[in-house]
Amino acid sequence: MRYRILSGELRQEDRLPPVRQLAAFLRVNRNTVAQVYRQLEAEGYLATRGRLGTFVRRGSAVTPGLAALLDRLLVEAERQALTSADLQTLLAMHSRVRPLRRRRVGFVECNTVDLAYFRRLLEREVGLPIRPILLHRLPRAARGCDLLVTTFFHIEEVQRKAPAAEVVGLVALPDFRTLEEVARLPRRARVALVCATEEGVRSKARSLGAVGLRRPRLLTATLGDGKRLQAVLARAEVLLASPKVLERLRRLIPLRVRVIPFASVLSEGAVALLRERLAATAA
């Protein structure tokens, strides 16, 4: 969240989700989220205004001068054929953090679309090869990995299926405005949730149920079940799906259906946390 504020994704006076709502969606303890809010408030990033909620107190700290300096650094890095991972390693070395050793890292996801995206992102940013692992292929597919990485949505299942492995969960935060929009949907609205796989449906349905969007008004389907998908879209008043799934559904969505792009993605802040974890365990 600090990264999202510093990068400008969250702007001054943006309202954050209530502690209970965000904790429920991420499926973490409310005290954890409350502690994060308190820490960021103590650091001057947030301000709590009673029943009105919690707001971003200050915007991005990236001044024009600092932005210009970063631009020059990136231009020079490109000239020297350095990747962003190279730059991060150099900065870590100059900050007296030990460079990463070659660890065997696997990333676990429930569907091939997200798995390919996250694998490319992590390999580019941490500078290590990442083994892609589908959730249903655990634990066999994880043999030989020193570390398994997944999102918070799947961490419990990964830990259960691979109890002997070290597992790191990265928070994939939703767009807060989208989360609030979903939480404010009319109680009787028929909402369709469409994902690429059944595992994705179960995971997202669980998080949505935690913020109050439960069956019978939540209708679910996968891209592979064409018959059920058509039936769900015919009944739905609102459709929730990731941007990539929506691309596949574009010609099937009735005009009357309200579409809400709904996806949680790893930010660069989450990737930075993984790099810190890898650096902390370097030999």
Cα separation, 191 vs 187, in Å, equals 10
Q: Which CATH class is domain 176-263?
A: alpha beta
pLDDT at 134: 94
Q: CA-CA distances (angstroms) from residue 44 to 3, 175, 243?
A: 14, 22, 34
Angle at 197 between CA 196 and CA 201, to 5 degrees: 95
Label each residue of 101-163 as H, E or C: CCCCEEEEECCHHHHHHHHHHHHHHHCCCEEEEEHHHCCHHHCCCCEEEEECCCHHHHHHHCC
Q: Where in the chain are the domains?
A: 2-56, 83-172+266-280, 176-263
pLDDT at 231: 95
pLDDT at 24: 86
pLDDT at 161: 95
Same fold flag, 83-172+266-280 and 176-263: yes
Mean pLDDT of the chain: 85
Q: CA-CA distances (angstroms) from residue 100 to 104, 207, 223, 268?
A: 12, 34, 39, 18
Q: Are the CB atoms for 51 and 200 separated by under 8 Å?
A: no
State pTM to two decimals: 0.69
- Give the residue carrying structure tokens 């059944």: 198
**61-65, 140-144, 190-194: least confidently modelled range:** 61-65
CATH fold for the domain made of 2-56: Arc Repressor Mutant, subunit A (1.10.10)
- Give the residue carrying structure tokens 């259960």: 160
pLDDT band of residue 140 (cuts 50, 70, 90) is very high
pLDDT tops 80 at residue 281: no
As a whole-number percent, the residues of the chain with pLDDT over 70 amount to 91
Q: How many CB atoms lie within 10 A of CB 255?
A: 4
pLDDT tops 50 at residue 97: no
Amino acid at 30: R
Q: Which CATH number applies to 83-172+266-280: 3.30.930.10, 3.30.1150.10, 3.40.50.2300, 3.40.50.150? A: 3.40.50.2300
pLDDT tops 70 at residue 102: no
pLDDT tops 70 at residue 96: no
pLDDT tops 60 at residue 100: no
3-class secondary-structure state, position 221: strand
pLDDT at 99: 47
75 or 102: which carries more pLDDT confidence? 75
pLDDT tops 80 at residue 28: yes
pLDDT at 185: 87
pLDDT tops 90 at residue 184: no
User: Of 125, 130, 128, which is closest to residue 83 (Cα–Cα)?
Assistant: 125
pLDDT at 64: 67
Cα separation, 256 vs 162, in Å, equals 44
17 or 178: which carries more pLDDT confidence? 17
Angle at 165 between CA 159 and CA 166, to 5 degrees: 90
Cα separation, 242 vs 200, in Å, equals 11
125 or 202: which carries more pLDDT confidence? 202
Q: How many CB atoms lie within 10 A of CB 205?
A: 18
**125-134, 153-162, 192-201, 270-279: least confidently modelled range:** 270-279
215 or 85: which carries more pLDDT confidence? 85
